[in-house]
Structure 1
Amino acid sequence: MQTACALTMVRDDAFFLKAWLRHYGGLLGRENCYVINHGRGAEVAALATGCNVIGIPGDAHQKFDQKRWRMLNNFVMGLRCYYQHVIVGDVDELVVLDPEAGGDLKTFLDDMPPNRVLTPLGLEVIHRIDLETEEIGDTILGPRRHVRPAPHYSKPCIVSTGTKIARGGHFTQYPKLHTPEHLYLLHLKFCDFAAYSAAMNRRNAVSAEIGGDIREVGIGRHWFAEARGEDRALFEGFAALKLQPAFEPGPLRRRMHRSWQARGDTGYWEFDRSDYDSQYLLPERFSGLV
């Protein structure tokens, strides 16, 4: 049985797809990457050459996220028949292994027992536009090294057992919490000011095309123009986050375990996802990792 594959769904987000392909294509091989091409975009298909590209219709429709995660759930369970671990998430989310652990993500998963769900610690890569003037090229970490804790992106996204994943990928019905020490999920939405603005323009256009209010559409509030705010003010606000003296994320993981509990009677499990007003500077060893 193959060790691991990666699965995502994308529509037009070339900036993030390139990073996703560099990362997982390099680690796992493109033959083990599965890209659901929403809208059958020609650019997505071309970029993902060598991957398993699955084209689906891109017609505007309501209950977008519910349908998307219903489909992703079924793909994950099918791929589990052929892979020990299935990594699933949005195209702007990348699972990484701290180089301090030695080896890489694939070798790490080679040694990981199956029949569990792994939850990497979520870190949001932020573009400090007051400090980081270098443009992003073939790597993101290096030009960008500031991150903030992101509990909403500590997602149970590496699956090697039968379970159900909730909409958005935030919860599963697996009752144990596994948070390996050196494993992180990097959320890249805010890693570059220009890329963020371009992506939000596309997403606002999609929500406008679908029509209806947020509940009817069934998609994240951030896709709606009225919830967007002013882009530059948002990025300037990152400077106010309290810079921690050292990169010591252990307490964040311990807090996840302390608050671990059933999510009501839904069958899902959760931990506290309170926001933090802090940020870290990633150690130099992370540069070039993504």
Structure 2
Amino acid sequence: MQTVAAAVTMVRDDAFFLKAWLRHYGRMLGRENCYIINHGRGAEVTKLAEGCNVIGIPGDPHANFDMKRWRLLNGQVAGLRSYYRHVIVGDVDELVVLDPAAGNLLDFLAQQPLRRVLTPLGLELIHRPDRETAAVEDSILGPRRHLRHAPHYSKPCVVSLGTKIARGGHFTQASKLFTPEPLYLFHLKYCDFAHYVGAMDRRNKVTEELGVGVKQAAIGRHWFAEARGDDRAVFDAFAALPQAEAFDFARVRRRMHRSWAPRGETGFWHFERPEPDRQHILPERFYGLF
């Protein structure tokens, strides 16, 4: 049984993203090393995650949902670090991926020094309905091959150090930044228009049950109908992004390191996060990873 790495997430009803999460981490790490917090004890989550370590918790709506969630995830990471060299933690629509040209993720992590927090470069997989019509039920990379750099999702999410992770997973209290060149975090929220609409409908329903607005809740704005905007316009805007000539992010990583600094008096550290201004084409070597 491998003890190099475990993966941890929390999920509520997002079967499409959970299937991708399981295809990736289940195959790469082994299902016995996957830890899934089943928010609301959904029967479909339990069935899909057979062979994984599933923790069922109550699913009552709560205005401080994100604070409670990351308090629990911080505890899980802290505990699992006693048994694994590295613990990967994040949302169910976020997958840590190693460039296949550098080998496989498990072997890569086995060679990494301990007492670090690794920050993969964030890439958002975007659906271009004008170019991509294939279904994504069994495989996402290949049918979807357009990306944009997503600084907001360059998350410090591979942990082998005792540290606190901020709500949302965007910051930690680790004062040194490690950004291995072949390591990426793929954010899947926009990877398919139909699944995006379904996920947003479910999240809007959750926040509607709270009976409070964006300013009264510790939940991301994107969960609220009032901040949602027009779904089709969101995807149409992807086509307007200029296309980069190369799949190369060396300058981005250098900028992350140059701007690395304390986040005010919070105890957390961060880097500048400029808005993405172009799209990239995923190299074929990534196709079929999940």
Map of 2:39 onto structure 1: 38
Equivalent in the alignment of 2:73: 72
Matched, 1:88 2:89: yes
Give TM-score scaled by structure 2 length: 0.98
Partner of 1:261: 261
Structure 2 equivalent of residue 288 of structure 1: 288
CA apart distance, 1:215: 2.8
Q: Please state if 1:244 is matched with 2:238.
A: no
Q: CA deviation at 1:137?
A: 3.1
Q: Provide the C-alpha distance between the structure 1 equivalents of 2:56 and 2:198, rounded to a whole number of angstroms.
A: 23
Instruction: Please give the per-residue CA displacement for 1:94-113, whole angstroms capped at 9, x wherever unaligned.
Output: 00000111x20000001111
CA contact (8 A) 1:11 1:41 kept: yes
Stretches of structure 2 lacking an aligned partner (at least 5 in a row)? none
Query: What CA deviation, in whole Å up to 9, does each residue of 1:175-218 have, x standing for no partner?
Result: 00000000000000000000000000000000001121213221
8 A contact 1:63–1:219 mirrored in 2 = yes
2:237 aligns to what SS in structure 1? helix
1:146 to 2:146 alignment? yes
Counterpart amino acid of residue 112 in structure 1: Q
> 2: distance between equivalents of 1:187 and 1:165?
18
Partners of 1:265 and 1:229 lie apart in 2 by 34
Match in the other structure for 1:59: 60
Q: Aligned with 1:37: secondary structure?
A: strand
Match of 1:100 in 2: 101
The superposition leaves residues 63-82 of structure 1 with CA deviations (integer Å, 9 ceiling, x where unpaired) of 11011101100110000010
Mapped partners of 1:254, 1:149: distance in 2: 14
**1:182-193 paired onto structure 2 within 5 Å:** 182-193=182-193
- Match of 2:121? 121
Q: Structure 2 CA distance, aligned partners of 1:6 and 1:166? A: 18
CA shift for structure 1 position 89: 0.1
- The residue type paired with residue 41 of structure 2 is R
What is the correspondence of 1:221-232 to structure 2 with a 5 Å cutoff? Answer: 221-232=221-232
SS at match of 1:123: strand
Runs of 4+ in 1 over 4 A off after TM superposition: none
Aligned to 1:5: 6
1:139, distance to aligned residue in structure 2 (A): 1.2
Alpha-carbon shift at residue 61 of structure 1 (Å): 1.3
After TM superposition, the structure 1 = structure 2 runs for residues 152-191 of structure 1, keeping only pairs within 5 Å, are: 152-191=152-191
Is contact 1:211-1:217 (8 Å) kept?
Answer: no
Show the counterpart of 2:205: 205
| Partner amino acid, structure 2, of 1:158 | V
Whole-angstrom distance in 2 between the partners of 1:273 and 1:67: 26
Corresponding position of 1:15: 16
TM-score computed with the length of structure 1 as normaliser: 0.98
Name the CA distance, whole Å, in 1 between partners of 2:273 and 2:193.
25
CA contact (8 A) 1:98 1:182 kept: yes
RMSD of aligned C-alpha atoms? 0.8
Matched AA of 2:21? W
SS at match of 2:168: helix
- Whichever residue aligns with residue 230 of structure 1, its letter is D
Alpha-carbon distance in structure 2 between the residues aligned to 1:25 and 1:276: 31
Asked if 1:29 corresponds to 2:13, the answer is no
8 Å contact kept, 1:4–1:87: yes
- Taking the aligned partners of 1:100 and 1:178, their CA distance within structure 2 comes to 20
